[in-house]
Structure 1
Amino acid sequence: MLEVRPNCEACDRDLGPEAQDAMICSFECTFCLHCAKRMSGHCPNCRGELCRRPRRPASSLAANPPSTGRIFKPHLSKGVTS
């Protein structure tokens, strides 16, 4: 099951489970669409492809809550502006 991480690793922007512009790689590194575009659609951690993260239906959130652990790597935002 996806962790559904709560933020962009590069700019720390909130990306809730309903976010339509959350992008992830196969390791679930999470970025907002803006930062993903600046990274040419590739994860800076693993170089994997960044794809749109599926949204978790609201009816499933109580039994399967999203992650609350934030991952923020400020060095990834170098040259990226929100």
Structure 2
Amino acid sequence: MLELRPNCECCDRDLPFDSPDARICTFECTFCADCVEGVLKGACPNCGGGFAPRPIRPARLLAKYPASTKRVLKTGCGQ
């Protein structure tokens, strides 16, 4: 099950569970669409893979399967 990480690992922008701007790689590294398209040029700085839009978990399932609250930041990612 996806962690639904709460932020962009590059710019630290908030990405709530229902954000249409969240992008993930195959290892679930999480970035915003702006960083993926701009700074990262479509390649994950952690694994080198591409990105896909992160699925949105239905709100009715959040109580049983909550989104992560742990923020992750990639050092040196365009800051």
Q: Tell me the TM-score range normalised by the shorter chain.
A: over 0.9
Partner of 2:36: 36
Q: CA deviation at 1:77?
A: 2.1
TM-score between the two structures when normalised by the length of structure 1:
0.90
Using the aligned pairs only, state the percent identity: 54
TM-score between the two structures when normalised by the length of structure 2:
0.94
After superposition, the CA RMSD in angstroms is 0.9
8 Å contact from structure 1 (residues 11, 74) kept in 2: no
Aligned residue pairs, count: 78
Q: Which runs of 5+ in 1 are unaligned?
A: none
Q: CA deviation at 1:73?
A: 2.0
Structure holding more helix per residue: 1
Distance 1:32 1:55 in 2: 14
Partner of 2:63: 62
Q: Secondary structure at the match of 2:76?
A: helix
